Amino acid sequence: MSFVSINPFNGVKNYSTPFISDDDLDKLLDNSKRAYLSWRKLPVEDRVKAVAKISELLSDNVEHLAATITKEMGKPIAEAEGEVKKVVTLVDYYVENAGEYWGLCLGIIRFGRCLGLRYLRFWQEIPFC
């Protein structure tokens, strides 16, 4: 079985990708847990630099990401570019204000629905605390 992406505008298949096995999923989850345990030991300054890199990568790839959104969601390109730029703004906010959240366990950037990144499938939480 596989996941199939269809362009909703014209009905053309974008791509298909097989679902992963339960064993592969378990390995990914174990790796994610190890990465988190390592991540949370890093000083907040290092974490902020890493999250700032996400903003840089998004900014450098606005056109490509917007084209992907348009292809996968049928969204107009200008609106798709706006979504990516909105995410950049939100990530930058958390980078610039990380000190306000440090120690409060509120400084979590959740990539996904709340930041309008449904199309990128980021559901990883990145705590600053």
Mean pLDDT lowest among 16-20, 38-42, 55-59? 38-42
Q: CATH number, domain at 17?
A: 3.40.605.10
pLDDT at 23 over 90: yes
For residue 41, the enclosing domain spans 2-127
Instruction: Give the predicted TM-score (pTM) of the model.
Output: 0.70
Ramachandran bin of 81, using left for φ above 0, alpha for ψ from -120 to 50, beta for the remaining angles: alpha
Number of compact structural domains in the chain: 1
pLDDT computed for residue 121 by the predictor:
40
Cβ–Cβ contacts within 10 Å for residue 18, how many?
8
